[in-house]
A and B are shown apart, each in its own frame.
Chain A
Amino acid sequence: MNYDQIVNRTVRDIPPSGIRKFFDIVSTMKDAISLGVGDPVFVTPWNICESAIYSIEHGQTHYTSNWGTIELRREIADYLRLRCGVSYDPASEVLVTVGASEGIDLALRALVEPGDEVLVPDPSYVSYAPCVRLAGGVAVGVPTDAARGFRLTGEEIRARLTPRTKALILPYPNNPTGAIMERADLEDVASALVGTDVIVISDEIYSELTYGGRAHVSFASIPGMFERTITLNGFSKAFAMTGWRMGYACAPAYLAKLLCKIHQFTALCAPVQGQAAALEALRSGKENHYAAVVHMREVYDRRRRILVSAFNRMGLPCFEPLGAFYAFPSIASTGMNSDEFCEKLLREQKVAAVPGTAFGPSGEGHIRCSYATSTEKIEEAVRRIEVFVRAHRKE
């Protein structure tokens, strides 16, 4: 059979993720150190795991409401009110999803008509542009750069607004750059959107991981922005629960209902064990002032400082990332492009980093290094990168 002619053309033509190549090489190397991991270094706190085990032991093995259990939705609404200053109605505005990833897909499919444009900051997480394409839309990159801390500006958005602009994806704290958007930055973005019908898909999965005393600000909390915002978040990063695939999408009731319509026909509901675990994560967090989250953030913060200061010391300028768990240094001074740098670094020094270009053309000249790994490994990786940079500077 000639599959090429049979299958859906959009799916066929989406290029594979730029990360795949590195994964394939690293997995064959024994003593490689990976700074390519976008996954918390911690295992899920035991009280959370235990509550999932308990739920299995007590026969909670059935479908839940399409929306997720009402207990969990209430806790999510409480959490967002306490930690992000946004109020959603648990009965009609909170949808429990299979990871925040599902939320991205639902939001785009609920909004996009064929040919609609969706603004996507460049560089950012690898899923947005393909999901826009799968929804029939056109992803329009909004370049960001180190000089402006990889923050999005109202000016850059205004310059790209057209009658076809349907949505803006707002992924902060940002993967891969580690950039955050403070209140003033968000107000600047809001000013560009007032008077338009552009919906903001605010992916706040790293909201608990901000540093330097900057608390995360939710876009929906900016005056007037609630009605045009779909807030996506989840448990993966805040509670070290990536493998559980637990997320949530919150939006005004009309939009939430649309998202749930797709969700009920494609996912039915998020896994019930994951919901039990997520409920425990939020309940215990509320009781102990999110002790586990606070501890993880402190550990990441220390490693962030080690990695960022090391890059600056070795002459790879790195703007200070104030969120997520990535450093995004510039490697332009080595004369290599991102891809070349990462491939040679992996082959010569066995350190895996991800080329900035995997996240969009504006990532050229940068590499993404995750500090969600042990201090010992970070220090060893830094030593190897230093040797590598010195050797190639001489050439």
Chain B
Amino acid sequence: MSLTQEEMKVLELLYEDARVTPAAAAVMLGMQEEEVRAAIEKLEQERVIVGYPALVNWDKTPIEKVKAVIEVKVTPQRDMGFDAIAARIYRFDEVTAVYLMSGAYDLMLEVQAENLRTLASFVSQKLATIDNVLSTATHFVLKKYKVDGVILEEEHADHRLAVTP
């Protein structure tokens, strides 16, 4: 995938703040608004940008979700390696992320469910029973400190003097 320097700049800007409008981005990057729009369109079409979800600290909402990281050992399939089994797993709504790993296990899942019972039932009824899944190890998340490069509870106080030479 080849991206121009301008397209990369638009991408970096949106990665920091997806709400920036094409007009504002054009000012900040010294580009024409049309160029910014074209860059965004290309990034979306090529699925470089695949969505614009807000980064939420769910702990501050009334919604109480249970999150876990699950290590999964699987048997890879001929011709398809791990892709088919990964696809089988990532289609479940409970699964929020799937990574193929090097080392002691094969897939790492991030899983989210309404409560402990539904999460347990997902693991025992759905995940562990898939043919090529050999074993699972579930680790519950107790607290999130930093997500996608953002520290969740950091204070944003400005400690600088108001006027300095």
* Residue of B24, B30, B160, B163 with most chain A CB atoms under a 10 A cut-off: B163
Q: Are A23 and B162 in contact (CB-based, < 8 A)?
A: yes
Q: Are A19 and B29 in contact (CB-based, < 8 A)?
A: no
Q: Are A306 and B163 in contact (CB-based, < 8 A)?
A: no
**A298 CB-CB contact with B under 8 Å:** yes
Question: A125 contacts which of B24, B28, B160, B165 (Cβ < 8 Å)?
Answer: B165
**B161 CB-CB contact with A under 8 Å:** yes
**B27 CB-CB contact with A under 8 Å:** yes
Among A302-347, those with CB < 8 Å from B are: 302-303, 305-306, 309
Closest B residue to A24 by CB, please name it: B163
Shortest distance between the CB of A122 and any CB in chain B (Å): 15
Binds B, one of A30-38, A138-146, A148-156, A386-394: A30-38
Q: Are A352 and B162 in contact (CB-based, < 8 A)?
A: yes
CA distance A17 to B24 in the complex (A): 37
Q: Are A37 and B28 in contact (CB-based, < 8 A)?
A: no
Shortest distance between the CB of B135 and any CB in chain A (Å): 37
Q: Are A302 and B28 in contact (CB-based, < 8 A)?
A: yes
Question: B12 contacts which of A36, A298, A352 (Cβ < 8 Å)?
Answer: A298
Interface bin, chain A: 20 to 34
**B128 CB-CB contact with A under 8 Å:** no
Given known A-B contacts A298-B12, A302-B13, A309 and B27 have beta carbons under 8 A apart: yes
Q: Interface 1/0s, chain B 2-35, versus A by CB < 8 A? A: 0000000100110000000000100111100000
Question: A305 contacts which of B12, B30, B162 (Cβ < 8 Å)?
Answer: B30
Given known A-B contacts A298-B12, A302-B13, A23 and B27 have beta carbons under 8 A apart: no
Closest B residue to A175 by CB, please name it: B165
Q: Are A305 and B29 in contact (CB-based, < 8 A)?
A: yes
**A292 CB-CB contact with B under 8 Å:** no
Which B residues are CB-close (under 8 A) to A39? 160-161, 164
Q: Interface 1/0s, chain B 99-127, versus A by CB < 8 A? A: 00000000000000000000000000000
Q: Interface 1/0s, chain A 79-104, versus B by CB < 8 A? A: 00000000000000000000000000
CA distance A52 to B144 in the complex (A): 27
**A290 CB-CB contact with B under 8 Å:** no
Among A4-31, those with CB < 8 Å from B are: 17, 19, 22-23, 26-27
Which B residues are CB-close (under 8 A) to A37? 160-164
Closest B residue to A303 by CB, please name it: B28
Shortest distance between the CB of A205 and any CB in chain B (Å): 12
Which residues of B are interface residues toward A (Cβ below 8 A)? 9, 12-13, 24, 27-30, 160-165
Query: Which are the 5 A-B pairs with shortest beta-carbon distances?
Result: A302-B28, A36-B163, A23-B163, A26-B162, A38-B164
Other contacts beyond A126-B165, A302-B29: 9, CB < 8 A: A23-B162, A27-B162, A34-B163, A36-B164, A37-B162, A39-B164, A303-B28, A305-B29, A309-B27
